Amino acid sequence: MERETIITLERMVAIHAGKPGELLMLAEELMDHFGTIPEAAPALMQQLGLAAGEIQSILSFYHYPVSNTPVRCRVEVCGALSCHLKNSADLLHALCETFSAEPGVIKADSRLLISRSECLSHCDHAPTVSVNGENCAGADLPGLIARIREALS
Amino acid sequence: MKPLPASFLTGRPKIVGSPRLYDYYRSYPFSALRKARNMTAEGIVAELLASGLRGRGGASFPVGLKWQSVMQQAETVRYVVANGEEGEPGTYKDRVLLEQNPLAVIEALVIAGCTVKAERGYIYLNQNYRAIEKALLQLLQWLREEGRLRCVEGAGAFDIQVRRGRQRYISGEETALFRALEGRRAEPTGRPPYPTEQGLWGKPTVINNIETLASVSLIIERGDSWFAAIGPEHNHGPKLFSLSGDVARPDVIEADMSATLADLIGWAGGTVGTFKGAFVSGPSGRLFLPRDLSLPLTIQNGCGNGTVIVFNDTRCAVDLARQVTDFFHSEHCGQCLPGRESMKQAKALMDGLENQAALEPVLQHYQQLHAVLLNSSKCGLCSSGTGIVPALMQAFPADFARHLRHDCPICRAGAEVAA
């Protein structure tokens, strides 16, 4: 892990030191910044006043990805019922095929993560896809692919 | 087709993400808040009780009773919380409401805070509502700067914080949401004590759904009689319905609860294809069949949170049952043994359906799991998730029979595309 990343991480954690109730806020800030929870983060998070086991328990409960591979583009394809009825499984397959990606696995070369998600609560635009936290209608596949390429560039 | 009723909660242009947010803030009348300033706390609760407003998140608990219960607690540190988690598949009405009229929710939360003498309010949002979070933070900043986050001029500090949660369906359950706000695992706790007695950080807490709070603003502004005059008996006021699935124009429909399922589908442009069924109140709700199209979506008929997912006759009920089972299997919290074990067995039943000789034992087993959950699980989420699959088995036995014969052309075609 680069020295600069460690410094950034330490600075972000220090803001919440002594505030155990702010673990989820910190985790979301790290997700926004790094796209994942860096592997060094859980140890640093003990500064909040939580035990290592508590931190692991909370991060795993909310399915936070802990990885040193930063994600440049996170694509989530909603697989909940309304989107399932609009063929979201086919869409996930098409996106993975286009970018030679495996669902739920970070592509180390392009820093792309395509995964299936539970309900994104945009069922009026099903099938819904979230690209780096922004929701877009999955019905326009070429537009979606262009958007992902732009995020990766 | 009946004409679409007038809108009171929605029907405005989307303000979140638009450059007109400040204009919206400047022109918002705060009528309910101004009126509440001249009312006693008891008067506000009396108005809510008289209006007949029941919670819009699914449980339909009388809102006035909830507020009254918090007021009666001896503990003086109290909180008010707006529940905008909205993780149930097919549910997006609160998002649409917040995108159009976020100040109605803030206004009601301020009124709630003043009524129960809370020191702080929280708005808990679905993880994907980033744009709404940004708009709310901006609006709250303007309100703070102008000293408007209080009912009475010169009253003590009351503030509202916004939290966007991590996506877990279970977080929408009231007690689980408190744990998420406290930065812990969103695991429900048993009742009693109820949230009104020991909620957030163990203090008396009013927790209401986003639509419920927007309805509070309407009641205070227009009066309880106006609200009570809308809709059938015991089902007062306008209600939001989230339509999705096999309908021509998926959208949030605002109607009163005399609207039938057929009315709602008609207002959403009609079924695409031939109507086969609908999940009302989402996958944790009730299965409506063609014979139920003329039923009004009242609380008694299971309208719940107002979610309506329509499916047509090209859909296989087994595929739907597997979707529902997989969802609850992956989203249950795993905290209690009945929930953990029953969801594991439910998934095994659906995954191994093709290995069964007959449907009846599968149905009986699934019903037993549902009964176990109803009687012994720690919260209501797992049991609400296992109710609809037996209903699908009973309503569409032919679909299940095809799977027992390894002969479902619909699911085979889907599997081929996915492969």
User: Whose structure tokens read 């069949």?
Assistant: B289
Please report the ipTM that was assigned to this predicted complex. Answer: 0.93
- CB contact under 8 Å between B130 and A134, yes or no, is yes
Name which of A77, A119, A131 to mutate to probe chain B: the one with the most chain B Cβ atoms within 10 A of its Cβ.
A119
Ranges of each domain in chain A: 3-61, 73-152
On whether the pTM is more than 0.90, the answer is yes
Domain residue ranges in chain B: 21-228, 238-312, 317-418
* B238-312: CATH number: 3.10.20.600
Picking from B381, B388, B282, B389, the residue whose alpha carbon sits closest to that of residue B335 is B381
CA distance B185 to B187: 6
Q: Which CATH superfamily is domain B21-228 in?
A: NADH-ubiquinone oxidoreductase 51kDa subunit (3.40.50.11540)
The set of residues, in sequence order, having a beta carbon less than 8 Å from that of B92 and lying 6+ positions away, is A121, A122, A123, A124, B86, B242, B244, B252
* Rg (alpha carbons) of chain A, rounded to whole number: 17
The one-letter code for the residue type at B370 is: H
B330 contacts in chain A (CB < 8 Å): 118
Phi, psi of A130 (to 5 degrees): -110, 125
* B412–chain A Cβ distance below 8 A for any pair: no
**8 A C-beta contact, residue B96 and residue A135:** no
Summarize pLDDT for A112-152 with one digit per residue, the tens: 999 999 999 999 999 999 999 888 878 789 999 999 999 99
CB contacts under 8 A, B 193-252 vs A, are 242-246, 250-252
* Shortest distance, CA B244 to any CA of chain A (angstroms): 6
Kindly report, residue by residue over B51-81, the tens digit of the pLDDT: 999 999 999 999 999 999 999 999 999 999 9
Which residues of chain B from 291 to 320 reach within 8 Å of chain A, CB to CB?
Answer: 309, 311, 315, 320
pLDDT surpasses 90 at B151: no
Helix/strand/coil for B33: helix
What order of strands is seen across the sheet that includes strand A134-137? A112-117, A73-78, A128-131, A134-137
Q: Domain A73-152, CATH 3.40.30.10 — does that match?
A: yes
Res B153: pLDDT: 57
Inspect the interface and report whether the beta carbons of B418 and A27 lie closer than 8 Å.
no
Residue B157's pLDDT band, with cuts at 50, 70 and 90, is confident
The total of other beta-carbon atoms located within 10 Å of residue B101's CB is 22
Those residues with Cβ within 8 angstroms of residue B378's Cβ, 6 or more apart along the chain or in another chain: B188, B189, B190, B335, B336, B338, B339
| pLDDT (tens digit per residue) in B216-240 | 999 999 999 999 999 999 999 999 9
* Residue B247 DSSP label: B
CA distance B4 to B84: 26
Pick from A20, A118, A123: which is nearest to B183 by CB?
A: A20
pLDDT digits 0-9 by tens, B323-334: 999 999 999 988
Query: Chain B neighbours among A 90-149 (CB < 8 Å)?
Result: 90, 93, 117-126, 130, 133-135
B317-418 has which fold? de novo design (two linked rop proteins) (1.20.1440)
Q: In CATH terms, are B238-312 and B317-418 the same topology? A: no
Which residue among A80, A90, A123 sits closest to B242, beta carbon to beta carbon? A123
pLDDT tens digits along A69-97: 888 999 999 999 999 999 999 999 999 99
Q: Which of B251, B320, B327 is facing A80, going by the closest CB pair? A: B327
